Structure 1
Amino acid sequence: MDIESFRELCISRPGVTEEFPFDNNTLVFKVMGKMFALADVDHFVSINLKCDPEEAIRLREHYAGIRPGYHMNKKHWNTIEMDGSVPDAVVRELISESYRLVVNGLTRKMREELEGMK
């Protein structure tokens, strides 16, 4: 998967915005203001995605290209290497799961607002 495909997968979801809050090369995707995905646009070698803590451990044990989130809460975030060691289909699923986890953590009012955007 390349940076353009990654971006399209993220930005196509309801309520998602993209920004560079940390520096000029760390692209952050947020749903209703809450982060669910990050990547370096200059060196697209990995992405950070939110993950259920138990699932995060299982994924790290199963895929050499998945490790605890770089510069993130290592319990709730994984870094996925974009070197092909994790199949694109799995990466797409992990992006969807990250988005879903963040949406589920939104307030009821924010989830209702998000539903209105669909």
Structure 2
Amino acid sequence: MTDSLDHTQAEHYLLNKPEAKLDFPFGEEVKVFKVKNKMFATLAIGKMGKGDDETASSEKGSWWMNLKCDPDEAVMLRDIFPSIIPGYHMNKKLWNTVILDGSIPQGEIERMMDNSYLLVVGKMTKKDQQSILLHIGT
């Protein structure tokens, strides 16, 4: 395995964002990460909690993470990394699904998680943004 992130590391990274909370609105199998009640990531095994049984490509089923993304960058990332696909069960223009199979460098996954978080925070009211950005130091 390359210098990549597993689902546990990804979960810790996401939860360390200022005011990040874990929620389960889609059931126990799908971890939803929110900031001020706005979703910025999901994490689940296989096809967002449904498992990956019909594809023999995964050993025990890879973890899939949905991340919000700039539409142009989303397409570029899909071209660069085979394990980044259009957002599963999401707006495919604004979300990517990152398959945590070890093929994407840790720094790149962290950058995508940071971008997803900041895109969601950027759409909030100025007041909410300020309370969060204080923690980031921006």
Retained in 1: the 8 A contact 2:6–2:102? Answer: no
Partner of 1:83: 101
1:29 aligns with 2:47: no
2:63 to 45, 63, 69: 45
**How many angstroms apart in 2 are the aligned matches of 1:71 and 1:115?**
30
- In 2 relative to 1, CA 90–102 (structure 1 residues): closer, same or farther, beyond 3 Å? same
**How many angstroms apart in 2 are the aligned matches of 1:3 and 1:56?**
21
2:40 alignment partner AA: F
Partner of 2:52: none
Instruction: Give the 5 Å matches for 1:59-78.
Output: 59-78=77-96
Unaligned runs of 5+ in 1: none
**How many angstroms apart in 2 are the aligned matches of 1:7 and 1:81?**
14
2:10 alignment partner AA: F
Q: Taking every aligned residue pair, what percent have the same amino acid on both sides?
A: 39
| 1:114 CA drift (Å) | 2.3
Normalization by structure 1: what TM-score?
Answer: 0.91
Q: After the TM superposition, which parts of structure 1 deviate over 6 Å for at least 4 consecutive aligned residues?
A: none
- Counterpart of 1:30 in 2: which secondary structure? strand
Retained in 2: the 8 A contact 1:2–1:44? Answer: no
Between the two proteins, the alignment pairs up a number of residues equal to 118
Partner of 1:12: 16
- Counterpart of 1:57 in 2: which secondary structure? helix
**How many angstroms apart in 2 are the aligned matches of 1:51 and 1:85?**
19
Partner of 1:113: 131
